[in-house]
């Protein structure tokens, strides 16, 4: 894979369908294996990593597509220091916290940057 895409998601999964749609699209693009997908969750979007997604808008996208992103062999990143990370419980997916500076460096190395608010 020579192309890389960074999906940055910041919307609130409790009130918006956009985070779920971003994850569905990222998983679909990643399934082609022509673009290496990296997912970065920031602000309220970090809640998508929660073990409890019941009640989120389009909750089935989290249980269906987020694990597929985890299987692509690329890290899933969460905004470092985000206070909502303490509300996740036992996240079913491995993720790494990433601060803003390293995020900017990561974004600069990507071919595509897709932002969902």
pLDDT by residue for the chain (117 residues), tens only, comes to: 579 999 999 999 999 999 999 999 999 999 998 999 999 999 999 999 998 999 999 999 999 999 999 999 899 999 999 999 999 988 989 999 999 999 999 999 999 999 999
**CATH code of the domain covering residue 70:** 3.40.1260
**pLDDT of 2:** 78
46 occurs within a structural domain:
yes
Range of the domain at 70: 3-93+112-116
In 3D space, the residue among 15, 33, 21 whose CA is nearest the CA of residue 71 turns out to be 33
36 occurs within a structural domain:
yes
**pLDDT of 38:** 97
82 occurs within a structural domain:
yes
107 occurs within a structural domain:
no
26 occurs within a structural domain:
yes
Domains of the chain: total: 1
Q: What is the value of pTM for the model shown?
A: 0.95
101 occurs within a structural domain:
no
- Helix, strand or coil, per DSSP, at residue 89: coil
């Amino acid at each position: 894979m020579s192309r890389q895409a960074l999906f940055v998601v910041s919307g609130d999964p409790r009130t918006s369908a956009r985070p779920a749609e971003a994850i569905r699209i990222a998983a679909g693009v990643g399934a082609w294996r022509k673009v290496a997908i990296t997912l970065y969750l920031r602000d309220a979007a970090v809640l998508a990593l929660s073990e409890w997604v019941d009640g989120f808008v389009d909750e089935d996208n989290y249980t269906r597509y987020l694990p597929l992103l985890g299987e692509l062999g690329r890290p899933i990143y969460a905004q470092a220091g985000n206070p909502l990370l303490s509300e996740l419980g036992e996240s079913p997916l491995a993720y790494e916290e990433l601060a803003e500076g390293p995020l900017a460096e990561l974004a600069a190395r990507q071919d595509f940057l897709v932002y969902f608010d």
